[in-house]
Structure 1
Amino acid sequence: MGPVLLAGALLGAVVSCGPADPAPVAAAPAPAAPVPSLWPLTGLDSGTALPRPALAVKIENSVQARPQTGLGAADLVWEEVVEGGITRYVAVYHSTLPAEVGPVRSVRPMDAAIAAPLHGLFAFSGGQPAFVAAVTDAGTQVVSNDSGAAGFYRIDSRPAPHDVYADPATLLVQADPRHLAAPPAQFEIAGPGNEPTAVTAGEPAGSLALTLSGVSHPSWTWSAPDGHWVRAEGQTPAVEADGTPLRAVNVVVLRTESVDTGTTDPAGNPVPETVLVGSGDALVATGGHTLAATWVKSAVDQRLVLRGPDGNPVRLAAGNTWVELVPTRTGSVTVG
């Protein structure tokens, strides 16, 4: 019996050591789609662009200043009422740097609240010491023509004080170590495959007619073929110096209070301040639609937040945005 058992054992060993069925080969996981790198102020693809700080520039908007240079390249443009009812812009450049911007004018009291959340540079020409100090105290790096900063120059084709222009690239290279980072997003932006809130929850609209003061009546008309709102000053199309129409993917209207600062400009006109820390009504225009909203800004250095009727953040479309600061008591907004 012993040999039989041994043979059986050997046979079992041979069988157990035979070639095994090949193990199934797991399919290699599909490579993950690359996550796009987006410009924070527009939500557009930045490609391989190097990070750089945001540059805010104070641009004039009197009749003598038109047409301006470089406004169309700005990621954000804020329009504010200053003395005499005229308006000025704070144009914010990040994704695109034009070769020239201007006319560059002086700082105003509400500019600190506009520029501080960007954590970048603010360029201007002139301003009362208290207004300049407010910008610096808010954490923004001041780049001033009056202090001799490089990048400013005067052109021969316009009389003073409408003749100060600037080279944004030269302004930016002066960023100190504390102001080199890219800015955080200032508004919520709908990501790829998502619709902006005004389109999903708003009403169709073709135009916005605004009154900022007795002498300022900008309007915006929706142009479906190119997906932009097109600006006019009253009945006159608003264009750049090269004739390019001024356009915006998003127009954000903020109803704001205006207070007297107790100061005057060189001509003796009272200098108003738009109050931007607080809250108020808003209107968001995107994609041929408008949406009633509210805005809130908790501090000078905090970004302004837009919320829809449901209390959720309002998402803008990817692209440039113009912000209109319309006084609650003397201004008006008409949707057509």
Structure 2
Amino acid sequence: MDTLRARRQGRGGRIAALLSAAALLVGLAACSDPAPRPEPTAPPTAAPRTSYFTGLPGRNGPVLAVKIDNVRPARPHTGLGAADIVYVEPVEAGLTRLLAVYSTELPPRIGPVRSARESDLELLRQFDRPALAYSGAQSALLPLIEAAPLVGLPPGRAPDAYVRSGDRPAPHNLYLRPEAALTAAGDVGAASDIGFRFGPAPAEGGRPVTEHTVRYPSARYAFTWSEADRGWRVAMDGTPASTTDDGRLAPATVVVQYTEVRPSRFGDRWGNASPYPETVGSGRALVLRDGQGYDARWERATAEGGTVFTDAAGERLDFAPGQVWVVLAEA
């Protein structure tokens, strides 16, 4: 019996020792710091999108080009301050019209809208299948518009996108509702690289410019640098240019693009040939930004390609971020 009791006591002692050791390990584990958990990683932040047309943060949305009237009864314009790019084009009788390009934002209304010209088709080839809103065209030009790589949007094709205003006489009172226009257009290409570059002003090559005037036979544009606006205040035919919705027009960059202007194959109802400013080729230009003028060269090798602007050394010339006006003037 003593031997059995001794064996049991020995076995019990070993069991007690094992239980004590296990309890000690549990206690140590409870007292120790828990294993660190990995810190949650923040989702990657998408880089802000930059507009190809303005160099500012913004979307590169569908491209909508609008042909805008520019005789005195058509002013002040509406929605022009929201355009990314404004092209000034010569037309009949020494006058001009505007081709405004929108992608970053769409104002509620744009206008007044007028008729298209043959030169619009070549100019717009550098954009990827844009929509073109216009009020009409010379009948012989209509098949070319239909065949061009764009979506033509005259009132007959998109009646819900147009409205007449009662505050001025026709034909200077037709306005576009751009959201409705793009809905009617359907498949329209988004903004892409057309050759513009944006950045700080070049350290060399500029000269101080406070005002620059571009003259046409029956029209005149003056661009005056405004430090307060950080842009070039526009005057048309001696009158400050403003809009009904955005106030004074003051683009950040003005490009005077000197080009050959030849007669178009098409003309107006009185038989006058429309001017055709060539936008494929090369020539000289004047780039106005930040109160400085820079002599430049422009080159566009093909109609599908963009327009490259370079300085005297052949380096790409940066524009000031913001709205860009391109004034097509005869060389």
Matches within 5 A, 1:145-224: 145-177=155-187, 179=188, 181-190=189-198, 194-197=199-202, 200-211=204-215, 213-224=216-227
Q: C-alpha separation between the residues in 2 aligned to 1:31 and 1:200?
A: 42
Question: Which of 70, 74, 88 does residue 97 from structure 2 map onto?
Answer: 88
Q: The residue matched to 1:229 in structure 2 has which SS?
A: strand
**1:121, CA displacement in angstroms?**
0.8
Match of 1:67 in 2: 76
Q: C-alpha separation between the residues in 2 aligned to 1:40 and 1:72?
A: 17
The one-letter code matched in structure 1 to 2:56 is: L
More deviation in 114-123 or 89-98?
114-123
CA contact (8 A) 1:254 1:325 kept: yes
Higher-Rg member (1/2): 2
The one-letter code matched in structure 1 to 2:120 is: D
Question: Which of 42, 47, 53 does residue 54 from structure 2 map onto?
Answer: 42
CA contact (8 A) 2:212 2:223 kept: yes
**1:30, CA displacement in angstroms?**
11
Q: The residue matched to 1:150 in structure 2 has which SS?
A: helix
Gaps of 5+ in 2: 1-40
Q: C-alpha separation between the residues in 1 aligned to 2:244 and 2:219?
A: 20
Identity of paired residues, percent?
34
**1:37, CA displacement in angstroms?**
1.1
Q: The residue matched to 1:276 in structure 2 has which SS?
A: coil
**1:63, CA displacement in angstroms?**
1.0
CA contact (8 A) 1:187 1:315 kept: no
**1:309, CA displacement in angstroms?**
1.0
Q: C-alpha separation between the residues in 1 aligned to 2:204 and 2:107?
A: 34
Q: C-alpha separation between the residues in 2 aligned to 1:160 and 1:195?
A: 44
Return closer, same or farther for 1:146/1:258 CA change in 2, 3 Å cut-off.
farther
Match of 1:254 in 2: 257
Q: C-alpha separation between the residues in 1 aligned to 2:43 and 2:66?
A: 43
The one-letter code matched in structure 1 to 2:165 is: I
Task: Confirm whether residue 100 of structure 1 aligns to residue 109 of structure 2.
Answer: yes
For residues 163-201 of structure 1, give each alpha carbon's deviation from its aligned partner in whole angstroms, at most 9, with x where no partner exists: 211101111112333x2x4211324333xxx5134x643
Q: C-alpha separation between the residues in 1 aligned to 2:99 and 2:81?
A: 13
Q: C-alpha separation between the residues in 2 aligned to 1:95 and 1:264?
A: 33
Q: C-alpha separation between the residues in 2 aligned to 1:153 and 1:265?
A: 24
Question: Which of 294, 308, 320 does residue 317 from structure 1 map onto?
Answer: 320
Q: The residue matched to 1:113 in structure 2 has which SS?
A: helix
Q: C-alpha separation between the residues in 1 aligned to 2:265 and 2:293?
A: 36
Q: The residue matched to 1:102 in structure 2 has which SS?
A: coil
Question: Which of 290, 296, 300 does residue 299 from structure 2 map onto?
Answer: 296
Return closer, same or farther for 1:316/1:133 CA change in 2, 3 Å cut-off.
farther
CA contact (8 A) 2:158 2:181 kept: no
Return closer, same or farther for 1:319/1:161 CA change in 2, 3 Å cut-off.
same
Q: The residue matched to 1:114 in structure 2 has which SS?
A: helix
Q: The residue matched to 1:110 in structure 2 has which SS?
A: helix
**What TM-score do the two structures reach when normalised by structure 1?**
0.80
CA contact (8 A) 2:263 2:276 kept: yes
**1:226, CA displacement in angstroms?**
2.1
Match of 1:279 in 2: 282
Q: C-alpha separation between the residues in 1 aligned to 2:287 and 2:141?
A: 29
Q: The residue matched to 2:124 in structure 1 has which SS?
A: helix
For residues 107-146 of structure 1, give each alpha carbon's deviation from its aligned partner in whole angstroms, at most 9, with x where no partner exists: 0011012222222211101002443443443311111114
For residues 32-79 of structure 1, give each alpha carbon's deviation from its aligned partner in whole angstroms, at most 9, with x where no partner exists: 885321122111112xx5x53110000000111111111111000000
Q: C-alpha separation between the residues in 2 aligned to 1:93 and 1:219?
A: 23
**1:313, CA displacement in angstroms?**
1.6
Q: C-alpha separation between the residues in 1 aligned to 2:299 and 2:223?
A: 24
Q: The residue matched to 2:181 in structure 1 has which SS?
A: helix
Match of 1:232 in 2: 235
CA contact (8 A) 2:286 2:294 kept: yes
Q: C-alpha separation between the residues in 1 aligned to 2:245 and 2:274?
A: 32
Return closer, same or farther for 1:135/1:313 CA change in 2, 3 Å cut-off.
farther
Q: The residue matched to 1:172 in structure 2 has which SS?
A: helix
Aligned residues between the structures: 292
Gaps of 5+ in 1: 1-28, 329-336
